[in-house]
Structure 1
Amino acid sequence: MENNLWTAIETNWVSLLVSVVIIGILYFLARKRVGFGYRVLLALGLGLGAGIAFNSFKLDATSVSTIGTIYVNLVKMLVIPLVVVLVISSITSISSLGHLRKIGIKTISWFLITTGIAALIGLLVALAIDPGAGIDQAASSGFKPREIPKFSQVILDLVPSNPINEMAAGKVVPVLVFAIFLGVAIVHVGSKKPDAVQPVKQFIDSLAQVLHQVIKYIIRLTPYGVYALIAAMATKYGIETLSPLVKVILATYVALIIHFIVTFGGLVAFVAKVNPFKFFKKAYPTIAVAFTTRSSYATLPVNLEVITKRLRVSPKIASFVAPLGATMNMNGCGGVWPAVVAIFVAKVYDVPLGISEYILIVLVSMISSVGVAGVPGPASISTTVVLTALGLPLEGLGLVLAIDAVVDMGRTAVNATGTTVTSLLVADSEGEFDRDSFNRDEEDQLDLNMA
């Protein structure tokens, strides 16, 4: 027992020492003013390589995982204050409630449309790759089907009964609803008594500026957090865990990449009329943080900074769309993934599907992606809803438990990027997108600001 403990401590020190050297290299590059995006990309590569090496040599990476968790917690600590302050700020900056309603309808419509397209792409790719071929039907012993919440419970969970308690529990959707009520009330009272709400608006605006500065502090830690998170992930799972389900991983990532390039790139190019290469280059920090943290909520502070400072979308649009997208925009988790899993499970359990079932997959994916907003584990809940609607065995979901964390990185990156795209589309349609500044900005200058 003592020998095993000593071995674990020894191997943990080895992985930590290697990680300190790598973090030192990343810090040196930051001092040399190497671009932020390049350092994050390098951190991804170094983390993957180090993690695979740690796994191969059976090294303990607990300390490395702790570094990643610290970074995620620092980002998460900003989510609730940001949701409250920025939603109120965005609503109070929109003088007309009719204008606010129009922005809300456009935002949710784009969320639904892109999720539907994502589900269709996931369906077609899964049919082409056939990820269920040759897979054993034995479900994971640790699998427990997620219970689909009743519609009445979903509605109740959206309405805050105690806003302070909801904030303490980290429940974003009820806090978002509370912030919307406060913002609308400030606008309503301000239309009759401007002087009465002026101190509140000034306080909110000042607090928003302070929070943006805190975001900048934490963004500087992103390359180190990205390295630690990827290294810990690769150490935990290794290559052998993924090999039996490689076709499921392949189908999911092919669908995510197609949706990313074709859908997002097409909307950016043909609807917003923006160079998609420049857009993705500017949006890279959001993509990288979402990929490594696997949390749309944790990505929210970085995404807001990217949308406003890099994409030049006005804060009042970004502050409304981004928090809503973190809870409701599920292109990856609610679109691609349920479609791929449905085709996979149908093949494994030899359940024939026809055109009507394919249409049902797309429609149910769209509806469930919004219906599970704010529910923990939205990907598994959305997938459970789709499998139930098709009459497929829920045990099939247990077959993909081993790769959930691996595909979740791609799913979350697509979710967060979809929110970024929607912010651009809504801002462009409302005249809140500074196209000249977007085209004029030099990437290196912005990198230095965020480094």
Structure 2
Amino acid sequence: MSSLNNNLIHAFQSNWVSLVISLVIIGVLYFLGRKRVGFGSRVLIALGLGLIAGIFFNKFKFDATSVSTIGSIYVNLVKMLVIPLVVVLVINSITSISNLGHLRKIGIKTISLFLITTGIAALIGLLVALAFDPGSGIAQEIPKTFKPRDIPTFSQVILDLVPSNPISDMAGGKVVPVLIFSIFVAIAMVHVGSKKPEAVQPVKHFIESFAQIMHQVTKYIIRLTPFGVYALIGAMAAKYGLETLAPLIKVILATYTALLLHFILTFGGLVTFVAKVNPFKFFRKAYPTIAVAFTTRSSYVTLPVNLEVITKRLRVSPKIASFVAPLGATMNMNGCGGVWPAVVAIFVARVYNVPLGISEYILIVLVSMISSIGVAGVPGPAAISTTVVLTALGLPVEGLGLVLAIDAVVDMGRTAVNATGTTVCTLLVANSEGEFDRESFNRDEEDQMELNPV
């Protein structure tokens, strides 16, 4: 009984230590905001402080539950925005386009860019994994916590995408069915409006007003981003520490090297040579999206931030951003569906001593591209895409369990690349459609997101 009491007292005290330290850091971040330190700088500082604090909590066995709770509050608040934003912005963007042929052209460009960039990501992941040979020296032991993911049939994927009860889908946070429902409503509004404009005017006015209100709510929540970033990265570092990462460090290095190369070469190249935009200025302006995606590990949660970045900082037309960004949050998986399956496939083949040739390498790239679109809207897309690739190659699916311990660590980088890919594709589509205000983009030197604390 005495031992139990001592454990409870220690847990209580260690939780208070982490909470007090966190409150001090949050106070520092708030002070920096009051001193008008840039939003991107505060997020970067929060990231560094969270990493340091998390490693400290892990090393001295301090309970980081309070830190995790703060991060969860931030994530829940951002999740709160996703469904209302998707509905009003998609309807608003399509009704503002009004030309269905133009809408079809934008859709084809968007999905083509998603597929092409994911294919390039898979190729880079493949080449880097071959260079790093991450499976060498890894024992064939599968973690007990591993449970193979079932691959949904094609018909089941299609059925899951089609809305059957829009209200239920909204309550369940199912973005793809809600997106499709919103597209149907918007197209119907365009058709009816072409014959009876007065019939749709009240709905259009409501949607436009509601969109403005949701933009203001989004600003309130985004101002909390530095605090959320600190809490999320701190909880992650406190949970895993450095010991968990050591055995699979080559897999982590290979993955992040591939992600970084894709980030610099593919995204940087597209921004520089296709959009003809200064890449350093682009990435500086897009930094809030990258940081939030990295720490929350969710493209859906990052969507409200990304929309603000795309429209307010990159100066892309809201009607393009409102169409491409929600699609990207669902379908654009450069990290989860491109780089990661390729790295894991090479890793598993090496661990189980399965030889792969040029035909298998081509198959990795092609299957990664197709599966990244095919699992849109399915929970755990990285695991599903990787399972599909391993199955297509005839590799043991159980090999996925070997990288289970580092999934959360690499998922931060994967999601950051996913979200950045959506930002890049939105810029490219807008530029091709004349919906990118290049002059304002080049002129703006200060943050345009109104993100300083109240």
CA distance in structure 1 between the partners assigned to 2:331 and 2:450 by the alignment: 32
Q: Do 1:335 and 1:365's aligned partners in 2 also have CA atoms closer than 8 Å?
A: yes
Q: Say which SS state the counterpart of residue 97 (structure 2) adopts.
A: coil
Q: Deviations over 1:110-129 (max 9, x none)?
A: 00000000000000000000
Cα distance in 1 for residues equivalent to 2:426 and 2:449: 21
Structure 2 CA distance for aligned equivalents of residues 424 and 327 of structure 1: 17
Q: Distance in 1 between matches of 2:32 and 2:161?
A: 45
Partner residue in 2 for 1:241:
244
After superposition, residues 379-394 of structure 1 pair within 5 angstroms as 379-394=382-397
User: CA deviation digits over 1:213-235, x for unaligned, max 9?
Assistant: 01110111000000000000000
Are the counterparts in 2 of residues 29 and 39 from structure 1 also a CA contact under 8 Å? Answer: yes
Question: How far apart in 2 are the matches of 1:36 and 1:144?
Answer: 40
Cα offset, 1:237, TM superposition:
0.1
| Alignment partner, residue 262 of structure 2 | 259
Q: Which residue of 68, 93, 98 maps to 1:90? A: 93
Of 346, 358, 362 in structure 2, the residue corresponding to residue 355 of structure 1 is 358
- 1:285 maps to a residue whose letter is P
Hey, what's the Cα distance between the residues in 2 that align with 1:156 and 1:168? 18
Query: Which AA in structure 2 matches 1:71?
Result: Y
Other-structure match for 2:278: 275
**2:307 matches 1:304:** yes
The aligned counterpart of 1:164 is: 167
- Counterpart pick for 2:228 among 225, 247, 270: 225
Q: Which residue of 2 aligns with 1:419?
A: 422
For residue 271 of structure 1, report the CA deviation from its aligned partner.
0.3
CA distance in 2: counterparts of 1:347 and 1:184, whole angstroms: 50
Shift of residue 3 of structure 1?
1.6
Q: Does the 8 A contact of 1:268 with 1:425 survive in 2?
A: yes
1:151-230 aligned within 5 A: 151-230=154-233
Q: CA deviation at 1:449?
A: 4.6
Give the AA of the match of 1:202.
H
Counterpart contact for 1:35–1:447, Cα < 8 Å:
no
Shift of 1:144: 1.0
In structure 1, the partner of 2:25 is: 22
* Contact 2:36-2:452 within 8 A present in 1 as well: no
Q: CA deviation at 1:2?
A: 2.0
Deviation at 1:442, TM superposition (A): 1.2
Specify the alignment match of 2:12 in structure 1: 9
Task: For residues 34-83 of structure 1, give each alpha carbon's deviation from its aligned partner in whole angstroms, at most 9, with x where no partner exists.
Answer: 11110000000000000000000000000000000000000000000011
Q: Is the 8 A contact 2:223 2:451 kept in 1?
A: no
Distance across 1 between alignment mates of 2:386 and 2:452: 37
Q: What corresponds to 2:119 in structure 1?
A: 116
5+ residue gaps, structure 1: none
CA distance in 2, matches of 1:312, 1:32: 26
- Looking at structure 2, the residues matched to 204 and 175 of structure 1 have their Cα atoms a distance apart, in angstroms, of 16
Identity of aligned residues (%): 83
- Does the CA-based 8 Å contact 1:36-1:448 persist in structure 2? no
Deviations 1:331-355 (A, max 9, x none): 0000000000000000000000000
Give the corresponding residue for 1:345: 348
Separation in 2, partners of 1:5, 1:290: 35
**What is the CA deviation profile of residues 339-385 of structure 1, one whole-angstrom value per residue up to 9, with x for unaligned ones?**
00000000000000000000000000000000000000000000000
Summarize deviations over 1:371-411 as a string: whole Å, max 9, x none.
00000000000000000000000110000000000000000
Structure 1 residue runs of 4 or more that deviate by more than 2 Å after TM superposition: 445-451
**Distance in structure 2 (CA, Å) of the matches to 1:394 and 1:128:** 23
SS at match of 2:57: helix
Q: Which residue of 1 aligns with 2:432?
A: 429
Name 1:286's counterpart in structure 2: 289
**C-alpha contact (below 8 Å) 1:148/1:381 kept by paired residues:** yes
Once the two structures are TM-superposed, the CA of residue 446 in structure 1 deviates from its matched residue by 2.5
| Alpha-carbon distance between aligned partners in 1 of 2:238 and 2:215, rounded to the nearest angstrom | 34
| CA shift for structure 1 position 95 | 1.6
Which of 293, 298, 301 in structure 2 is aligned with 1:295?
298
Q: 1:431 to 1:450 in 2, by over 3 A?
A: farther
- Residue correspondences, number: 450
Partner of 1:331: 334
State the AA in 2 paired with 1:446: Q
Structure-1 separation of matches of 2:440 and 2:262: 27
Is the aligned partner of 1:400 residue 2:403? Answer: yes
Letter in 2 for 1:105: I
Which amino acid in structure 2 is aligned with residue 101 of structure 1?
R
Contact 1:115–1:365 (CA under 8 A) maintained in structure 2: yes
Q: CA RMSD in A?
A: 0.8
> 1:223, 1:248 → 2: CA distance?
29
Extract unaligned runs of 5+ from structure 2: none
Inter-partner Cα distance in structure 1 for 2:348 and 2:12: 42
Residues 34, 452 of structure 2: 8 Å contact kept: no
**Hey, what's the Cα distance between the residues in 1 that align with 2:12 and 2:186?**
52
Q: Of 445, 448, 452, which aligns to 1:446? A: 448
- Alignment of structure 1 residues 25-36 onto 2, 5 Å: 25-36=28-39
In the TM superposition, what is the alpha-carbon distance from 1:447 to its structure 2 partner? 6.1
